[in-house]
Structure 1
């Protein structure tokens, strides 16, 4: 019955979790509100706040899980991808903690962990399945054949879907983080009020750079005619932007499901918390006969629970790393 301590520090959440024999018994997340003053994450500030948060977060997670340090069997941590300085804090702490207690180290790929978050709670997907991973930095369609046998079959050629949400929010002068606010305002708007440029990309790849530009020009031109255009039409703008992004995401996912003849479909990553995407996926499950898997909100955004469950599976396979391991801002599967 392995007990794994897990640390996630890839961006601006300091998170620590405990996995006891495959069950998440604690998942502490310390958010960094300081970035709200700058409209985005400042890497140097993120690293400094991680240093302040990590020890209290570990202590809190162990207390919630009712686990003593002597009962731990391994330490899992996010090696990448992410902000290098932020990753360095988590990796350094994990190495020191493991060395002091003579515990094995388990390196986890952040994006794989997002996918494996589906194995925290029931229902759990059966292999093989397709997972749409969508976040501020990534947009991928992943063919998941086993816990660590994954193949990226489609990805963004430039910007991520999460970035499209965040940049749109900035254009609309919404405070950071803006993605959840677009989701909030979209619920009261008309999703068909406005149309934006949709990328014409072959295969299963995505592109959102042109989409973002079309929104920028649309807002600029409308404000020339009416300086209060955004304020007067905020709900409709948000609903239309969200509808367009979700449509782009699902069109490729449907194509992938048909191409690989798979009806087990999952979503993961921070944008999987978006209500528009979740609702559209549930609707597709009915019309297309998909078996749909969506993580609980707690495990959609960056969190150590997903690192813990991935670390647990690696522990069972005896996949450990040496103390000279270093963080990686970019990692492939």
Structure 2
């Protein structure tokens, strides 16, 4: 049963979503399978995931809005994120494990600067490694059909904070990295019920060392998900992902237009390609978005990937 439930566990314990007015973003879906209690042997796992997030809708609070056109300010137009995320996981035992998560970002951003002489379009494009995350886990309770554990680690300042379009640096919230070292702490619980598997999880992320006068806001993520093994090879999945992010701060932050509260509904499906290989896909749809100030948001996003164990 565990091998059939394996693809249904695709849910990230320590995702690093970035919500900012310019639109740098990751999907908030959960794809760390270890927290779901479906791996029952030590070893190495590799997960490769691609994300598509097109932020092209300005939002103020909970409502869609349009560009303000105020002279000497800029209006966001679009940020297209194509993220590629590799995760290397090693389980020392059923209780202990570590994972290393490396994001590669392909990002396009466009906004309009409202010059007194007329609007001026400004664009940035880059493909860069983002902030790497190193996390350990410990399952402090393991029952016949359920598991509870803790995850703890760091988000490291490996991503660039100096990308430019040749004449002007991108805003800090658009950069591949935040420049900060963040602490990550999470708790999870999962349970198997016949052909179904469900989980709940909370994760807290906070800056412990900032750089260049930019401090990303604190993040709290709450995830719940269920999966069902419809056949020996196919599994159906559904997640609810909630996020709260406080405002960024510092001289290089745009505090008024950062942070917010979000809830996403995330259905998915996975297929067991072989004994040790699973492929999966998700569509993520926001069902509640309340942003601070004016920010770019997406009407939907998508993710697909493959997970292998050795």
Q: TM-score, normalised by structure 2?
A: 0.28
Compare relative contact order (CA 8 Å, sep 6+) and give the higher one, 1 or 2.
1
Question: Which structure has the highest strand share of the two?
Answer: 2
Query: Which of the pair is proportionally richer in helix?
Result: 1
